Amino acid sequence: MAGIKKTNAMRMLDTAKIPYEAVEYEYDENDLDGHHVAEYLNLPYEEVFKTLVAKGDSGQYHVFCVSVDSTVDMKKAAKAAGEKRVEMIPVKDLLNVTGYIRGGCSPIGMKKKYKTIIDEMILLVDNVSVSGGMRGLQIRLKAEDLVKAAEAEVADITV
């Protein structure tokens, strides 16, 4: 990994002694879709997870991770987060809230610790890929290691 700049997510995994593989991919600023990542890396959609950030009625932020082929069910997500309602934050707020930009938002190493919920689909796969903390970088690791590193709960949060 000599040519890959360490991101906060990678530093946190290193500190926790969690093994991972950092994989670079080409991306288009106008197409940051997770399907592109899966196809470029030749991975099944169910092994590539996207990170979404929402704000609850309480004013608290919550992080949700679902496979790129899934859609968050906002009612299930709110319930799992302990909120009456949650709403995705505007993209313009992402950097300020998480320290990451759209297309490079990792569930690991955000600038603050938020309640993180990963869809139960993760229980069906051995390895997953999530953003490494910048566009064009994915982190591949064991599914259970992602749950541990993100200090996440696992719940049914998809449609």
| CATH number of the domain within which 129 lies | 3.90.960.10
pLDDT score, position 4: 87
Task: Tell me whether residue 15 is in a domain.
Answer: yes
The answer to whether position 1 is within a domain reads: no
Three-state DSSP class for 102?
Answer: coil
**What is the Cα–Cα distance from 21 to 41, expressed in whole angstroms?**
12
Residue 23's contacts (CB-CB under 8 Å, 6 or more residues apart) are 41, 129, 132, 137, 138, 139, 140
Give the list of residues 6+ apart from residue 68 with CB closer than 8 angstroms, or none. Answer: 33, 34, 35, 37, 38, 45, 48, 49, 50
Q: Enter the tokens of residue 146.
A: 């992602």
Q: Tokens at residue 60, please?
A: 């608290």
CA distance 50 to 104: 10
CA 60 to chain centre: 18
- The parent domain of residue 80 ranges over 8-155
Is 3 contained in some domain?
A: no
Q: Does an H or E element contain 65, and which?
A: strand 61-67
pTM of the entire structure? 0.95
pLDDT tens column, 5-29: 999 999 999 999 999 999 999 988 8
Residue 98 lies in a domain: yes
Q: What is the pLDDT of residue 28?
A: 84
- Count up the domains in the chain and report the number: 1
pLDDT in tens, the chain (159 residues): 557 899 999 999 999 999 999 999 998 887 788 999 999 999 999 999 999 999 999 999 999 999 999 999 999 999 999 999 999 999 999 999 999 999 999 999 999 999 999 999 999 999 999 999 999 999 999 999 999 999 999 999 999
Question: Residue 88 falls within a domain, yes or no?
Answer: yes
